[in-house]
Amino acid sequence: MSCPAYFDSSKTRGEGRKVPKSLAVPSPKISELKEAAEKLGLEHELVLDVCYPKTPWLKTGMLLVTKKEPKNQLLKKVAKQLQKMRAATAK
The CATH number of the domain where 49 resides is what? 3.30.56.30
Q: How confident is the model at residue 2, as a pLDDT?
A: 87
CB atoms within 10 A of CB 39: 13
The low-confidence residues of the chain, meaning pLDDT below 50, are: none
Rounded to two decimals, the pTM is 0.88
Query: Based on the structure, what is the number of domains in the chain?
Result: 1
Write down the pLDDT at residue 38.
96
Within its chain, how far is the Cα of 1 from the centroid? 9
Q: For the chain, percent helix, then strand, then coil, each to nearest 5? A: 35, 10, 50
Domain containing residue 68? 4-90
Q: For the segment 17-29, what is each residue's pLDDT rounded down to a tens digit?
A: 999 999 999 999 9
Are 35 and 90 in contact by the 8 Å Cβ rule? The answer is no
